[in-house]
Amino acid sequence: MTVRSRLTLFLLLASAVVCLAATDLVLPAIPVLPDVLGGTPATAQYVMAGFALGSAIGLIGFGELGARFSQHRLLVLALAFYTLVSWLASRATELNELSFLRLLQGMFAAAPAVFTPGIIRRLLDESAALRAIGLVGSIESLVPALAPVAGAWLLDRHGWNGSFLILALAGSLLSIAWTLHPLPPASANPSGTNAGYLDLLRNRTFLRYAISQAGTLGGLLIFVFGAPAVIVRVMHGELADFIVMQVVGITGFVIVTNLTARIVSALGMERAIQAGTALSAFGGTGILAYALIDGSDPRALWLLFLAVNVGLGVRGPPGFYQAVVAAGDNAARGAALVMLFALALTAGGTALVAPWIADSLVPLALVSAVVSVSGLLTLRLAADLHPSKGQGTPVP
């Protein structure tokens, strides 16, 4: 690998981490926002839902723009606007304004996630590209565990807007770096097909894997987005309880993800996907059961949330892979749609639970569990559509 390729990979990884960190770096400040900017705990949750919705819009938008225009220019512009919106968010004076800016921030934050896989494939041969994508995925998986720790420190030292200022600074540096470091040119049609999103929505095999993946990931993210407010305001815990829960969960996810190849080898692709989906749904329903029985001790969430993360770790890589395979030559847009479904569920679920976020653990656990179980039901009810049944190619 050349020095230039290494620098490109570093910038891709840094861009993905900085944009992904915008989700969890802000989480520790959510419980204090009503006291600082006015509003209620419910309206504070829209700050998280807005980012998820914006990311969903950005995934589709940049997926289409990247097939038509220079990905290098789009990446520079996205990071520049990400910087501007992050700075404006740090100066917000009320929650509705901050929620709208978070929607815009999420839109521009989606660009690195859309462009990174294709850029890596153009830079490297297949073996090196797989290792690079695996490295990016492993490091990105640590962000949800580490970002809240950094966010709590920034909240303590610099107030609620400290995280937005750091994101603005990082975004500006990356925008300048990409301006000075052009990407290798892409073909006019990177996906190799004239097919669009509508073709994927007609592809039942793709939808089976995409929707079930979205249910498992969305159920986890809905709970993560609401957990700080519930732990602090309802369960009378501390942010440290949320951080420990995240660290335990992400640790399990990272360990299992690195064992995915062995698990798939032992169980087979389809059984591994079903087992992981079932385990994640079991963890989500376990949290709901605990919320109905007691729901007062944040430490009880650690083990239950670990099951949710481990389940995603088992099904995540093979489930995403099968969705991309089912998308055929339309793989780039297929990857964008998988994340779109997950983020749309996350945004909708977070908004749905927001009015009751300060009441008890039950509403958050219920919505999270329903979304997670819906992923399992989708997988089971359409079991005849998996590739081993001869349905591995897109359905016309």
Q: Where are the domains of the chain?
A: 1-190, 195-396
**Residue 394 pLDDT:** 36
Between CA 89 and CA 97 the distance in angstroms is: 8
Task: Tell me the residue length of the chain.
Answer: 396
Spatial distance between the Cα atoms of 191 and 178, rounded to a whole number of angstroms? 23
Give the range among 70-74, 194-198, 360-364 with minimum mean pLDDT: 194-198
What's the rounded Cα separation, in Å, for the pair 392 and 263? Answer: 21
CA distance 258 to 242: 24
Task: Find, among 382, 58, 83, 370, the residue nearest to 207 by Cα.
Answer: 382
The pLDDT, as a whole number, for residue 396 is 30
On whether the CB atoms of residues 191 and 335 are closer than 8 A, the answer is no
Q: Model confidence at 207, in pLDDT bands (50, 70, 90)?
A: very high
DSSP conformation class of 160: T
Looking at domain 195-396, which of 1.10.220.110, 3.40.50.2000, 1.20.1250.20, 1.10.3720.10 is its CATH number? Answer: 1.20.1250.20
The answer, yes or no, to whether residue 14 has pLDDT greater than 90, is: no
Mean pLDDT of the region 16-22? 83
The set of long-range contacts for 290-297, using a CB threshold of 8 Å and a minimum separation of 24, is 290/361, 290/365, 291/360, 291/361, 291/362, 291/364, 291/365, 291/366, 292/362, 295/234, 295/235, 295/360, 295/361, 295/362, 295/365, 296/235, 297/235
Average pLDDT over all residues of the chain? 81
| Domain at 1-190: CATH architecture | Up-down Bundle (1.20)
Q: Hey, do 1-190 and 195-396 end up sharing a CATH topology, with the first three levels equal?
A: yes
pLDDT tens track for 119-162? 776 676 655 654 565 566 556 656 766 777 788 788 878 888 88
pLDDT value, residue 190 = 45
pLDDT of residue 395: 34
| This model's pTM is above 0.75 | no
Specify the range with the lowest mean pLDDT, choosing from 16-25, 41-50, 178-187, 285-294: 178-187
Average pLDDT estimate for 89-117: 86
Read off the tokens for 351.
């908004």
